[in-house]
Structure 1
Amino acid sequence: MTNRILVLYGSYRSDRMGIRLAQFVVDNFRTRGEDVELIDAKAVGLPMLDRMYKEHPKGQAPPALEALAQKIRSADGFVFITGEYNWGIQPGLKNLTDHFLEEWFWRPAAIASYSAGRFAGARAALAWHGTLSEMGMVVISSALAVGPIAQTLSETGEPLGDGGKALTRAFPRFADDLGWWMEAAKAQREKRGVPY
């Protein structure tokens, strides 16, 4: 059964490296037969959060916000590609995420982190775990951590060297874990609906 997966990426930098990891994740889920789409916060171009999607009168949200709300609601699961900025979360991805709330509910999320250094975005991944849980998502236990990213993935997201080999070995478990939770959440929504 095909799942609808959104891969969300939030760097606004001109020489952004995390797009390599986003492309790797998208390509590998597609190879597994999943319906996957990259949501690039920079391309979507939402303003800094002033009014959440739900705070707009019905049918009057800006077109980019309405389109993204529809995509989020139709997804079975999410993968957040996060870099680490000063031990914390990327502002672009956080801003995109915060425009919505109920749209995220009752679906699983996975975290794939990266950095230019050896810590591979681990501190940002930890911060995202609590944030995504608070926003109504089940965060899977498997994670991907890539660092140094420039030595692990090429500009087109192809694995390089030992780091690339390790990432390639880690991806199936990551994908299987997300797949299991997507199927479990779908079955439960069909069986009982959602509590609220």
Structure 2
Amino acid sequence: MAKIVVIVGSVRSERNGIKVAKWIVSKLEEKGHSVSLVDPVELDLPLLDKMYKEMESPSEKLQQLQKIIKEADGYMPITPEYNHSISSALKNTLDYFLEEYFFKPSAIVSYSVGSFGGVTAGNHLRQVLAEMGTLAISSQFPISKVHEVFDDDGKLLDNNYEQRISRFLDEFEWYVSALSKKRESGTPY
């Protein structure tokens, strides 16, 4: 069982990302993982001024978030596509930390109301995650026309996604396992 952090990328009032995130959490829990859901709405983080490691007295919420991020074996950010990129809320949440992410894999889930499922945002996020030391697996999980895939309660309406998620999670689990074993024997720095 791995510790996985799912990070919601949207703070909009009628956001689809929370539906996607809760479904992803349920899929990971079905596979026996311990999952933490990080929701920027609940965190209410200010715009980044100092990284966690630079703060003299971080808030209780930020201390708890740092512990979750540090203890994780892998990360799964859920990104909307805003103007061909990721949301500022997701970037702000990610940027509070750095070393906590090192040598752990990530897997990108993207979505949009259009036909391409946020792949452009996912590609941009891949660059950000690489720079942060949490390389994304080669597969991406785009969800096109997200408003037609989930109902208002977050129930999956398109069973094609059930088939697709299995292979995506299998790949992610492989990387989580491989890098966990490698971290046990040490890291380059």
What range is the shorter-chain TM-score in? over 0.9
2-structure distance, mates of 1:156, 1:107: 32
Cα deviations across residues 143-188 of structure 1 (Å, max 9, x unaligned)?
A: 211110011112333221xxx2221111111111111111111111
2:3–2:72 contact (8 Å) kept in structure 1: yes
Q: Match for 1:93: what amino acid?
A: L
What secondary structure, in the 3-state scheme, does the structure 1 residue paired with 2:11 have? coil
2-structure distance, mates of 1:68, 1:105: 16
Percent of residue pairs identical: 39
* Residue number in structure 1 paired with 2:22: 23
Deviation, structure 1 residue 9: 0.4
* Residue number in structure 2 paired with 1:95: 92
What is the TM-score of this pair, normalised by structure 2?
Answer: 0.97
Alignment of 1:8-87 (within 5 A): 8-57=7-56, 60-87=57-84
Q: Match for 2:40: what amino acid?
A: A
2:10–2:80 contact (8 Å) kept in structure 1: yes
Matched, 1:165 2:162: no
Q: Match for 2:3: what amino acid?
A: R
* Residue number in structure 1 paired with 2:181: 187
* Unpaired segments ≥5 residues, structure 1: none
What secondary structure, in the 3-state scheme, does the structure 2 residue paired with 1:6 have? strand
Could you list the structure 1 runs, at least 4 aligned residues long, displaced by more than 6 angstroms after superposition.
Answer: none
1:132–1:139 contact (8 Å) kept in structure 2: yes
Q: Match for 2:161: what amino acid?
A: L
1:54–1:100 contact (8 Å) kept in structure 2: yes
1-structure distance, mates of 2:127, 2:84: 15
75-84 or 149-158: bigger deviation: 149-158
What secondary structure, in the 3-state scheme, does the structure 1 residue paired with 2:140 have? strand
2:6–2:36 contact (8 Å) kept in structure 1: yes
* Residue number in structure 2 paired with 1:146: 143
What secondary structure, in the 3-state scheme, does the structure 2 residue paired with 1:125 have? helix
| Number of aligned residues | 189
2:36–2:68 contact (8 Å) kept in structure 1: no
1:109–1:139 contact (8 Å) kept in structure 2: yes
